[in-house]
Homo-oligomer: A and B are copies of this chain.
Amino acid sequence: LEALGRKQIAGKILLFNNRFDQRMAAQGLGGEAYEQAVVFRSRGAIDASYFGAVAVLVRSVGGGGYRLPHTGITAYDPAIPKIPAGAVTAEDADLIAGLAARGKVQARLVLTPQSLPETTSYNVVADLKGTEHPEQVVIVSGHLDSWDLGTGALDDAAGVAMAMAAVELVRRLDLRPRRTIRVVAWMGEECGSPGAWAYAKQHEGELAHHVAAIESDLGAGHPVGFKAKIKDKAMAWLSPVSAILDAQGAGGIRPVDGTEADLTPLAYAGVPAFGLWQDSRTYFNFHHTAADTIDKIVPAELAENAAAMVVMAYALANATEPLLR
């Protein structure tokens, strides 16, 4: 935008036509591809307004190509005029760009979204108490809320289902882990994770005893392992767990700098954080669209995810020595 300059931008509707990198997603880096692309949706209205634009259109962040808008959180800055922002489908973004290359394009935007007033809502928390160190906690989690176009089967009812299934599996096998396994269904991930921040504040004094936290928030495709925000020295501890997970093709441990949105407050407090790392080749075709519905869940793959989550959670909860932090 700086290169274009205020003179080019002022008074215009700006189209951000930046593509989601499907090749990255195919290589197991769907989350990273998303982060690269989503900045145009999350920051675009602020930056364009700063340079005088009257509105922004943002190419939908995701794959698929079924003329579906993909939407999501769009930030505003109180210091900069709030301008309208709309998601357009990949097809329509290309059409507009093609027309703009030929000459002036006029558009009339009719945008109907509304931000409703805040209301009270809740995380849902349930403990399977540890036998030796009930005060030491391993969290398994997903988030309860979803973006509004679909029903949120992939994002993130699947994660909540996995966390519930993980504890159910421990019970069904009549295992009694030394530490507590806590199921958390976070509230509000889509609007900045207020539930997760409230949890971290409420449990501030106990976070030193939070051994680890796991969340699945990348759909329900076949699990290939975990994205781990942990200390380097903790990697060795995970080797035997990874070896067990290898048998189901889920043994990958990938160190990451950031973690799942809901685990960020815990990670700030030093809690080791694990995100389920799924095959996400198709996830971003459906993410934040009207097509995120239950038929997209493959039951066998959902079960694989619950299995991977429970193996990791049980190892963390039952090991003699806790994971290094």
Interface residues of A in 284-299 (CB under 8 A from B): 285-286, 289-291, 293, 295-296
Interface residues of A in 53-69 (CB under 8 A from B): 64-68
Asked if A21 CB lies within 8 Å of chain B CBs, one says no
Closest to A64 in B: B66
Residue pair A289, B67 in contact (C-beta under 8 Å): yes
A94 contacts across to B, CB distance below 8 A: 295
A68 contacts across to B, CB distance below 8 A: 66-68, 291
Asked if A46 CB lies within 8 Å of chain B CBs, one says no
Asked if A308 CB lies within 8 Å of chain B CBs, one says no
Q: How large is the interface on A (under 10, 10 to 19, 20 to 34, 35 or more residues)?
A: 10 to 19
CB distance from A205 to the nearest CB of B (A): 45
Asked if A150 CB lies within 8 Å of chain B CBs, one says yes
Cα A95 to Cα B95 in complex, Å, equals 33
CB distance from A149 to the nearest CB of B (A): 9
Asked if A47 CB lies within 8 Å of chain B CBs, one says no
Closest to A65 in B: B295
CB distance from A96 to the nearest CB of B (A): 13
Cα A308 to Cα B65 in complex, Å, equals 28
Residue pair A293, B91 in contact (C-beta under 8 Å): yes
Interface residues of A in 29-83 (CB under 8 A from B): 64-68
Asked if A90 CB lies within 8 Å of chain B CBs, one says yes
Cα A65 to Cα B64 in complex, Å, equals 11
Closest to A150 in B: B67
A65 contacts across to B, CB distance below 8 A: 291, 295-296
Closest to A290 in B: B67
Cα A56 to Cα B95 in complex, Å, equals 35
Cα A68 to Cα B285 in complex, Å, equals 13
Interface residues of A in 237-285 (CB under 8 A from B): 285
Interface residues of A in 179-209 (CB under 8 A from B): none
A289 contacts across to B, CB distance below 8 A: 66-67
CB distance from A295 to the nearest CB of B (A): 6
CB distance from A123 to the nearest CB of B (A): 28
Residue pair B91, A295 in contact (C-beta under 8 Å): yes
Cα A85 to Cα B66 in complex, Å, equals 24
Task: Give the residue of B64, B67, B291 whose beta carbon is less than 8 angstroms from that of A91.
Answer: B291
A291 contacts across to B, CB distance below 8 A: 65-68, 91
CB distance from A91 to the nearest CB of B (A): 4
Cα A66 to Cα B91 in complex, Å, equals 14
A64 contacts across to B, CB distance below 8 A: 66
Q: Which of A66, A94, A289, A293 has the most B CB atoms < 10 Å from its CB? A: A66
A66 contacts across to B, CB distance below 8 A: 64, 66, 68, 285-286, 289, 291
A91 contacts across to B, CB distance below 8 A: 291, 293, 295
Cα A94 to Cα B64 in complex, Å, equals 21
Closest to A149 in B: B67
Can you name 10 extra interface pairs (CB under 8 A) apart from A66-B286, A67-B290? A65-B295, A65-B296, A66-B66, A66-B285, A67-B68, A67-B150, A67-B291, A68-B291, A91-B291, A94-B295
